[in-house]
Amino acid sequence: MKVKILERTANELKLEVEGIGHTLCNLLQKRLLEDENVALAGYDIPHPLASNPIIYVRTNGDVKPEEALRKAVKKAREINKEFGKELKKALQKI
Protein backbone atom coordinates (compact mmCIF):
# COMPACT_ATOMS: atom_id res chain seq x y z
CA MET A 1 0.00 0.00 0.00
CA LYS A 2 1.34 3.40 -0.96
CA VAL A 3 0.08 6.77 0.20
CA LYS A 4 0.67 9.88 -1.87
CA ILE A 5 -0.14 13.38 -0.60
CA LEU A 6 -1.87 15.25 -3.41
CA GLU A 7 -2.67 18.48 -1.59
CA ARG A 8 -2.05 19.84 1.89
CA THR A 9 -2.97 23.11 3.54
CA ALA A 10 -3.41 24.15 7.17
CA ASN A 11 -6.89 22.61 7.37
CA GLU A 12 -7.20 20.41 4.26
CA LEU A 13 -5.60 17.16 3.20
CA LYS A 14 -6.09 15.24 -0.02
CA LEU A 15 -4.30 11.94 -0.47
CA GLU A 16 -4.28 8.99 -2.81
CA VAL A 17 -4.03 5.49 -1.37
CA GLU A 18 -2.99 2.65 -3.64
CA GLY A 19 -4.67 -0.71 -3.34
CA ILE A 20 -7.63 -0.11 -1.02
CA GLY A 21 -11.31 0.03 -1.82
CA HIS A 22 -14.65 1.25 -0.57
CA THR A 23 -14.56 -0.82 2.61
CA LEU A 24 -11.63 0.94 4.25
CA CYS A 25 -12.44 4.33 2.74
CA ASN A 26 -16.02 4.21 4.00
CA LEU A 27 -14.85 3.19 7.47
CA LEU A 28 -12.34 6.08 7.61
CA GLN A 29 -14.90 8.55 6.31
CA LYS A 30 -17.40 7.52 8.96
CA ARG A 31 -14.85 7.79 11.78
CA LEU A 32 -13.65 11.16 10.48
CA LEU A 33 -17.18 12.54 10.40
CA GLU A 34 -17.65 11.56 14.06
CA ASP A 35 -14.93 14.07 14.95
CA GLU A 36 -16.33 17.49 15.87
CA ASN A 37 -13.20 19.13 14.44
CA VAL A 38 -13.81 17.68 10.97
CA ALA A 39 -15.88 19.91 8.73
CA LEU A 40 -15.82 17.63 5.68
CA ALA A 41 -14.56 14.12 4.93
CA GLY A 42 -15.05 12.01 1.87
CA TYR A 43 -13.43 9.86 -0.75
CA ASP A 44 -13.62 9.20 -4.45
CA ILE A 45 -12.53 6.25 -6.55
CA PRO A 46 -12.03 7.91 -9.94
CA HIS A 47 -12.00 4.66 -11.92
CA PRO A 48 -13.25 1.24 -10.77
CA LEU A 49 -10.43 -0.63 -12.51
CA ALA A 50 -7.72 1.51 -10.92
CA SER A 51 -8.43 1.17 -7.22
CA ASN A 52 -6.56 4.22 -6.01
CA PRO A 53 -9.06 6.13 -3.94
CA ILE A 54 -8.60 9.77 -3.12
CA ILE A 55 -9.42 10.67 0.49
CA TYR A 56 -10.24 14.25 1.41
CA VAL A 57 -10.35 15.78 4.90
CA ARG A 58 -11.11 19.37 5.89
CA THR A 59 -11.04 20.46 9.52
CA ASN A 60 -12.42 23.55 11.22
CA GLY A 61 -8.86 24.75 11.87
CA ASP A 62 -8.58 23.65 15.51
CA VAL A 63 -6.66 20.51 14.52
CA LYS A 64 -4.58 19.59 11.51
CA PRO A 65 -6.29 17.25 9.04
CA GLU A 66 -3.53 14.65 9.39
CA GLU A 67 -4.17 14.57 13.15
CA ALA A 68 -7.87 13.98 12.51
CA LEU A 69 -7.01 11.19 10.07
CA ARG A 70 -4.66 9.54 12.58
CA LYS A 71 -7.40 9.72 15.22
CA ALA A 72 -9.90 8.13 12.80
CA VAL A 73 -7.46 5.31 12.02
CA LYS A 74 -6.94 4.71 15.73
CA LYS A 75 -10.71 4.55 16.33
CA ALA A 76 -11.11 2.11 13.43
CA ARG A 77 -8.40 -0.13 14.90
CA GLU A 78 -10.09 -0.09 18.30
CA ILE A 79 -13.41 -1.06 16.76
CA ASN A 80 -11.73 -3.84 14.78
CA LYS A 81 -10.08 -5.16 17.93
CA GLU A 82 -13.37 -5.08 19.83
CA PHE A 83 -15.15 -6.85 16.97
CA GLY A 84 -12.46 -9.54 16.93
CA LYS A 85 -12.93 -10.20 20.65
CA GLU A 86 -16.71 -10.38 20.37
CA LEU A 87 -16.51 -12.64 17.34
CA LYS A 88 -14.16 -14.99 19.18
CA LYS A 89 -16.60 -15.17 22.12
CA ALA A 90 -19.54 -15.85 19.82
CA LEU A 91 -17.69 -18.58 17.95
CA GLN A 92 -16.71 -20.31 21.18
CA LYS A 93 -20.40 -20.63 22.07
CA ILE A 94 -21.23 -22.73 19.00
Instruction: Tell if the pTM clears 0.75, that is, is over it.
Output: yes
Q: What confidence tier does 43 reach under pLDDT thresholds 50, 70, 90?
A: very high
b vs e for 67-91, b when ≥16 Cβ sit within 10 Å of the residue's Cβ?
A: ebbebbeebbeeeeeeeeeeeeeee
Question: What are the pLDDT digits (tens) for 15-35?
Answer: 999 988 889 999 999 999 999
Question: What are the pLDDT digits (tens) for 50-84?
Answer: 779 999 999 999 999 999 999 999 999 999 999 99
Q: List domains and CATH numbers for the chain.
A: 3-93 (3.30.1360.10)
Q: What is the pLDDT of residue 83?
A: 94
